[in-house]
Structures are given as structure tokens and as C-alpha cells.
């Protein structure tokens, strides 16, 4: 079972290598993403400033040689603040994408392949979580923690409401795949349900899982940014959303401090474009164009 999954991963990596060599959209998307990953996970170690410290530099300085992206009204260097914000936002996105995709895929595979009572139970559970509005719960958490909710707790809430969508889509694909002849052959050979699900069905879905992972990262970062903008997030942690929140709170645009709000908004737009390009290529070349047995 594990050998089959590893072989499928190897085949997809070879395909990805050939795509990178000839697809401009994927090259651009990966290049931007790598730059942001370096900024978020390498540069913070070299920061001369603290991520939560205020009044560390001269306030309201426009972009200059000493401060390439300018400074804020709270006395923070925007470039170094951006590195910490990228780190937290990317961690949030990857945690939500990893947990949400894993849980959703497992639940969807079991429900779609097994069918019957178990399918009905898991599908109903997914529908319940889809129907529950996440926004009021996040507002309640923000009120309880007074804007000091930890970034990982925020990620846990996002995970709670993201896995059902992956489960629904995975179930639909599993329902289609289980009707194919090689599934019957695997069943007759005595592999068992778990072996068939993870050894036969799941390898065919790895391209879709990759595309869903990228999309979920995008959704999680966008959701946090939207919540932080209205003050319903971890306001003590530096994220792309909280950068916008503090810029709005100090009326950066009205006071002519355009760089303060332009930096996080611009980075979010560029990051979204990069993730969209990667997801688009993966969906087109892997999922839509992949030969299915």
C-alpha cells in the first residue's frame, strides 16, 4: 500500500518537474512563493527588532534607505514587521490546509468507498459543520480572549469549518472511483477496505489533494486577513491581517501614510496571485489532464 502511494508521489513529482520547466504560470507562482517563504521563515531570525515591540524606530517615516518599506505610527519597521506577519500568516494557512485536507480526505474516502450507514453518518456530520456559521463563533472567541486569541487556536477554529468541504468533494470522487474494475480486483484479492482506500483509491486523488491544499492555504490566509481587518483575530500577533487592522485604526490613508497599508494589501494580493497560479496549473495539468485508470 505504502509503496503504491510513494510510486504515485514519485510520478507526480516527475510530472511537476516537467511542468516547471515549461509553464510560465507555475514558474512565476513558485518563484513568488519561494521569496515569501524565505522572507517569512529565514529573515525573521536576523531581525534587529522584536515582532511585538512598539516605539523601536522613528515613527511615520516614508520608505527610505534605512527603512525600505517605511515605518508605522507605532514605531515599527514595516519590512521586518512584514517578515513576522508572513511567517504567522503562512503558518496559519499551512496548518489549516494540512489538518483540514487530511481530515476531509480521510472522512470523504471512508464515506464514499464504504457507503451505507457509515456514509450517511459522515455525510450528515459534514453537512452539520457546513451549516454552522463560523463567523459568530470567531466573534465570541475574540470577545472572550479580548483580541488575544493565539494564532494556533484561530487555526483550530478554521480547521473545524474547512474539513467538510474537502470531505464532500473527496466523497464524490470516491463514489466514482469505487465503481471501476480495478477496485473489484483489489477487493477479490483480499486487500481489505483500508488497503483498497489508501492503496488504490487515494493515489489517484493525490493531484486533487495537492490542489485542494494550495486553495485551502489561500482561503485560510484570506479569512484571517478579513477577520483581522474588523478586529476579530489575534491582534497581538503580527499577521498580514493585523497589519491592515492597525493601519486602519491609526487612519494611515487619511494621514497620508500610504506605505503602511499598501505593503500588507500589496503582499496579500501578490501572494494570492502566486497561490492561484500554482493551483490553476495543478488543476489543469494534474487533475483535469491526468489519465485516470
Measure the CA–CA gap between 10 and 5, rounded to whole angstroms: 9
**pLDDT for the residue 280:** 85
**68 pLDDT more than 90:** yes
**pLDDT for the residue 293:** 44
**232 pLDDT more than 80:** no
CB 278 within 8 A of CB 228: no
CB 229 within 8 A of CB 248: yes
Encode pLDDT of 143-163 as tens digits: 777 667 778 888 888 898 889
For the segment 33-51, the average pLDDT, to the nearest whole number, is: 93
CB 79 within 8 A of CB 68: yes
**104 pLDDT more than 90:** yes
CATH 3.30.70.1140 fits 2-288, yes or no: no
Measure the CA–CA gap between 50 and 55, rounded to whole angstroms: 11
**189 pLDDT more than 80:** no
For the segment 105-124, the average pLDDT, to the nearest whole number, is: 86
Encode pLDDT of 250-266 as tens digits: 989 888 999 999 999 99
For the segment 45-64, the average pLDDT, to the nearest whole number, is: 90
CB 206 within 8 A of CB 8: yes
**pLDDT for the residue 17:** 57
Measure the CA–CA gap between 237 and 52, rounded to whole angstroms: 7
**pLDDT for the residue 61:** 93
Average pLDDT, the chain: 83
**174 pLDDT more than 70:** yes
**21 pLDDT more than 60:** no
Q: Which residues of 56-82 are buried (b: 16+ CB within 10 A; e: fewer)?
A: bbeebbebeeebebbbbbbbbbbbbbb
Q: Which residues of 185-200 are buried (b: 16+ CB within 10 A; e: fewer)?
A: ebeeeebeeeebbbbb
Out of 11-15, 24-28, 75-79, give the one with best mean pLDDT. Answer: 75-79
Question: What is the grid cell recorded at 246?
Answer: 492597525
Q: For the chain, what are the domain ranges?
A: 2-288
Confidence of residue 292 (pLDDT cuts 50, 70, 90): very low
**51 pLDDT more than 60:** yes
Confidence of residue 291 (pLDDT cuts 50, 70, 90): very low
For the segment 15-31, the average pLDDT, to the nearest whole number, is: 71
**pLDDT for the residue 113:** 79
Amino acid at each position: 500500500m505504502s509503496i503504491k502511494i510513494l510510486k504515485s508521489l514519485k510520478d507526480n513529482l516527475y510530472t511537476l518537474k516537467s511542468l516547471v520547466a515549461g509553464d510560465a504560470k507555475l514558474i512565476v507562482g513558485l518563484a513568488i512563493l519561494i521569496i515569501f517563504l524565505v522572507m517569512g521563515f529565514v529573515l525573521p531570525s536576523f531581525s534587529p527588532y522584536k515582532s511585538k515591540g512598539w516605539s523601536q524606530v522613528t515613527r511615520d517615516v516614508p520608505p527610505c534607505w534605512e527603512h525600505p518599506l517605511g515605518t508605522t505610527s507605532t514605531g515599527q519597521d514595516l519590512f521586518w514587521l512584514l517578515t513576522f506577519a508572513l511567517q504567522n500568516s503562512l503558518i496559519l494557512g499551512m496548518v489549516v490546509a494540512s489538518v483540514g485536507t487530511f481530515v476531509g480526505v480521510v472522512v470523504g474516502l471512508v464515506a464514499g468507498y464504504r457507503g451505507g450507514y457509515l456514509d450517511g453518518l459522515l455525510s450528515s456530520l459534514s453537512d452539520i459543520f457546513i451549516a454552522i456559521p463560523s463567523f459568530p463563533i470567531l466573534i465570541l472567541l475574540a470577545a472572550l480572549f479580548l483580541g488575544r486569541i493565539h494564532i494556533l487556536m484561530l487555526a483550530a477554529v478554521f480547521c473545524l469549518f474547512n474539513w467538510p468541504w474537502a470531505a464532500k468533494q473527496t466523497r464524490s470522487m470516491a463514489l466514482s472511483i469505487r465503481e471501476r474494475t480495478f477496485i473489484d480486483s483489489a477487493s477479490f484479492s483480499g486487500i481489505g477496505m483500508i488497503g483498497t482506500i489508501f492503496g488504490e483509491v487515494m493515489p489517484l486523488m493525490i493531484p486533487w489533494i495537492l490542489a485542494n491544499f494550495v486553495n485551502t492555504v489561500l482561503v485560510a490566509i484570506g479569512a484571517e486577513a478579513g477577520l483581522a481587518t474588523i478586529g476579530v483575530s489575534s491582534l497581538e500577533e503580527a499577521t498580514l491581517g493585523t497589519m491592515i487592522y492597525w493601519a486602519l485604526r491609526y487612519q494611515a490613508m487619511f494621514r497620508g501614510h500610504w506605505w503602511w497599508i499598501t505593503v500588507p494589501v500589496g503582499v496579500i494580493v501578490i501572494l494570492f496571485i502566486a497561490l492561484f497560479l500554482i493551483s490553476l496549473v495543478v488543476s489543469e495539468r494534474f487533475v483535469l489532464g491526468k489519465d485516470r485508470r
